Structure 1
Amino acid sequence: MTLAQPGHGPAQHELSISRLIDAPPAKVFRAWSEPEWLMQWWGPHGMTTPECEMQLWVGGLFRTLMRAPDGTEYNNQGVFLEIAAPRRLVFTDAFKPGWVPSDKPFMTAVVTFDEEHGKTRYTARAWHWSASDCRAHEEMGFHQGWGESLDRLVEVVTQRMPD
């Protein structure tokens, strides 16, 4: 798979969200790549992320456990495909560690952290394997959920995380 590069347009079955964050790219990248920070913001409002495991290398594990207010748990596992600190992270649920194919691949995420006048142009793209998966993710509330996670990320990097 060739990963799309900036300027080459959206992937075929893509959902995305973008925002200018008042923090440098290195800081926003840290909030994404260090479990102790990611657990503070990952997931929509009301959700918690009590567990996060990261092996920050290509093929390394990326696993989160999100818990809804009613106690329902969502375990997500995949691998990193690309790590270009502090500019870009790419991960997918298409594989488990050891490049073992997953039972039901759903998406690949491409997260970029572009410097813009001392701030970060944050863009998260979710690429789906099919139009129906993309539609299902949108109906699940992609924009609201990822937007609420982004609100929480902004709070972490602008108010809690030291420089």
Structure 2
Amino acid sequence: MNHELAIERILDAPVTAIWQAWRDHLEEWWCPLPWRTKLHALELHAGGRFATTMIGPEGERHGGEGLILEAIPAQRVVFTNTLLPGWRPQTGEPFPFVGIFEFTPEGAGTRYRAAARHWTADDREKHRAMGFETGWLAVAEQLEAVARRIAGLPARA
């Protein structure tokens, strides 16, 4: 069964800039404003640690820690919140999923696809109800803005 949620759009920046923004500037775009992100670890190799804390405007804090499953520079990053480094299982709060980010050159821009694959339809629907599409589309716009700055392109109006 397909328990995936995904967004896809063309970002108006070259794939090299999108990759650099994804890899080196994650704190600037990872969660929708006015929330912000504190990056604790981003080890872009299979088995690498990926840990963040999202901080809300009222001081709310939501930590997330997981494991990089695959990292192909400027092409694809796959992670899960169900494992920790050393292949140690964890519950995957608030629900277990696998995150997939794909970057494909398209003309002068980049086709960006971000997906979350869930174990159950119920978990998929919990994620949808949390605002998956709105949030992940906002994050894609923030990623694009950072990449445009890196590439020396003007900000979009």
Q: TM-score, with normalisation over the residues of structure 1?
A: 0.87
CA distance in 2, matches of 1:52, 1:124: 21
For residues 20-59 of structure 1, give each alpha carbon's deviation from its aligned partner in whole angstroms, at most 9, with x where no partner exists.
Answer: 011111221122222xx01011101210113341111101
Q: Which has the higher contact order (CA 8 A, sep 6+)?
A: 2
For residues 79-128 of structure 1, give each alpha carbon's deviation from its aligned partner in whole angstroms, at most 9, with x where no partner exists.
Answer: 11111111111111110111101123511011100111121000001101
RMSD: 1.4
1:12 lines up with 2:2 in the alignment? yes
Unaligned ranges ≥5, structure 2? 153-157
How many pairs are equivalent? 150
1:127 lines up with 2:125 in the alignment? no
Q: TM-score, with normalisation over the residues of structure 2?
A: 0.90
Q: Which deviates more, 15-24 or 48-57?
A: 48-57
- Equivalent positions of 1:24-103 (< 5 A) are 24-34=14-24, 37-103=25-91
> Match of 2:18, SS?
helix
Conserved in 2, the CA contact under 8 Å of 1:13 and 1:127? yes
Q: Amino acid of the residue matched to residue 87 of structure 1?
A: Q
Unaligned ranges ≥5, structure 1? 1-10
Q: 1:117 aligns with which of 107, 123, 131?
A: 107
CA distance in 2, matches of 1:162, 1:78: 30
- Residue of structure 1 equivalent to 2:155: none
Seq. identity, %: 36
Conserved in 2, the CA contact under 8 Å of 1:110 and 1:126? yes
CA distance in 1, matches of 2:16, 2:87: 28
Q: Report the CA distance between 1:162 and its aligned residue.
A: 4.4
